[in-house]
């Protein structure tokens, strides 16, 4: 039995806390919001973020961070990406060297263009950081629907330990040393999911979405490999797997926000309607900055940024994508002479 604290009481943190508790581990959930903790204690479920999913009676809840992180084998960091740095900074002096921190947020820090594991390592240089990602809606994990994800770590022993801790009959965990590729796939797919949602909101069909998913994956892979990620990672669970589920499901807050934007709402209005953090909005600017830094062309990402932040008409953005200069699909293939 491992001693684990989940920092963050959103839908994903709640689903994983339940999973870990059902796996036989000693689990505590922490939130910075006392009202959130009182509600979890009172109802035994996260009525706002994950309604209908009952939590084990053995799970504990606290709003005291020092209590939550004291003497823990694993800390699961499940706060929104914009709060990863500030939450990690609060752990300085509270955790030992080598503390395992599993990050499950998805995003890129816009001000530094760092992945979230790099952000954590900035604040906590001695931490042993792991990333957990893949096609995994909290609503389905909370109902024990079979799910597969990937755990990325610098050391194989750490990845194997996390694999053993999280594995269950309904939750399969693979391992990988490619933290960078895993995190880039996780963050950038949210931008493409916004585009897919926008296309849905405009009333386009399956052909359009398939094109966006396919070409979006090509953009993600091109940038990711240029930055040092492995192409195989983008063809895996945290790449194409996560992209498919995020572009195709109404569980996806990015897709739902995109639908509203395609129907004419601003991104602020869409986020207010979705009532959850829409990570793709924050990742879009960072993705475009990375594209410029690494001299990689990301036409879908460029058009998403124009729609979100420049007031561009969504239909016009799609038309511009369709009317771009003619291209070869794969430049590495040779023609017969």
Please give the positions annotated as active site.
189
Residue 249 to residue 237: CA distance in whole angstroms:
16
Residue 27 to residue 4: CA distance in whole angstroms:
5
């Amino acid at each position: 039995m491992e001693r684990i604290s989940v920092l963050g009481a959103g839908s994903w943190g709640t689903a994983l806390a339940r999973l870990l508790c059902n796996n036989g581990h000693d689990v505590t959930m922490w939130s910075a919001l006392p009202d959130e903790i009182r509600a979890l204690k009172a109802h035994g479920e996260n009525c706002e973020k994950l309604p209908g999913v009952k939590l084990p009676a053995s799970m504990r809840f606290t709003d005291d961070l020092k209590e939550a992180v004291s003497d823990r084998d694993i800390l699961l960091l499940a706060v929104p990406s914009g709060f990863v740095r500030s939450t990690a900074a609060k752990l300085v002096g509270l955790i030992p060297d080598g503390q395992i921190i599993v990050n499950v947020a998805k995003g890129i820090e816009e001000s530094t263009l760092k992945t979230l594991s790099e952000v954590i390592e900035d604040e906590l240089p001695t931490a042993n950081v792991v990333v957990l990602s893949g096609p995994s809606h909290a609503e389905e994990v909370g109902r024990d629907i079979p799910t597969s994800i990937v755990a990325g770590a610098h050391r194989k022993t750490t990845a194997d330990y996390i694999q053993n801790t999280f594995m269950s009959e309904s939750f399969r965990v693979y391992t990988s040393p490619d933290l960078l590729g895993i995190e880039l796939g996780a963050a950038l797919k949210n931008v493409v999911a916004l585009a897919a949602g926008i296309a849905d909101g405009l009333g386009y069909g399956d052909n359009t979405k398939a094109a966006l998913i396919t070409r979006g994956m090509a953009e993600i892979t091109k940038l990711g490999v240029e930055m040092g990620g492995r192409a195989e990672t983008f063809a895996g669970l945290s790449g194409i797997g996560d992209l498919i589920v995020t572009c195709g499901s109404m569980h996806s807050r990015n897709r739902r926000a995109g639908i509203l934007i395609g129907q004419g709402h601003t991104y602020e209005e869409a986020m207010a309607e979705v009532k959850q953090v829409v990570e793709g909005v924050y990742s879009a600017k960072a993705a475009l900055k990375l594209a410029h830094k690494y001299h990689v062309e990301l036409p879908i990402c460029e058009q998403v940024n124009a729609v979100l932040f420049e007031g561009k008409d969504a239909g016009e953005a799609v038309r511009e994508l369709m009317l771009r200069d003619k291209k070869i699909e794969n430049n590495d293939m040779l023609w017969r002479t």
